[in-house]
């Protein structure tokens, strides 16, 4: 029997997106915390999604966290939706 691709939970994706947006809570530490969070977030993204989605999404996630004023994009949640749609189309859901 073929094992389907593993998809992280939606709640985990929302939590990780919220952590990325949390830099706006403390204005003075905002951009400094993004410097630390960007590579960590990209690595987490890669390990959660894997494959082409993990690589491309990790790069996009890194850039989104590294550039100012783009933290609001819910990269993890968008990837979760993409993975769910593609799994449904392939009949793996």
Q: What is the pLDDT of residues 35-65, one digit of tens each?
A: 889 999 999 999 999 999 999 999 999 999 8
CB 79 within 8 A of CB 59: no
DSSP-derived letter for residue 27 is T
In a domain, 2, yes or no: no
In a domain, 80, yes or no: yes
pTM of the model: 0.84
pLDDT band at 1 (very low <50, low <70, confident <90, very high): very low
Name the 3-class secondary structure at 45.
Answer: helix
CB 75 within 8 A of CB 57: yes
- Total structural domains within the chain: 1
CA 62 to CA 9: how far, in whole Å? 21
pLDDT value of residue 45: 96
Question: What residues make up the domain containing 48?
Answer: 10-90
Per-residue pLDDT at 2 exceeds 60? no
In a domain, 60, yes or no: yes
In a domain, 52, yes or no: yes
Work out the angle at residue 14's Cα, subtended by the Cα atoms of residues 23 and 40, and round it to the nearest 5 degrees: 55
């Amino acid at each position: 029997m073929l094992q389907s691709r593993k998809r992280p939970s939606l709640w985990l994706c929302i939590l990780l997106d919220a952590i990325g947006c949390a830099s706006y809570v403390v204005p003075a530490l905002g951009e400094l915390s993004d410097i630390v969070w960007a590579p960590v977030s990209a690595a987490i993204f890669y390990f959660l999604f894997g494959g082409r989605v993990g690589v491309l999404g990790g790069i996009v996630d890194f850039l989104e966290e590294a550039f100012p004023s783009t933290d609001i994009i819910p990269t993890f949640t968008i990837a979760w939706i993409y993975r769910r749609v593609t799994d449904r189309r392939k009949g793996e859901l």
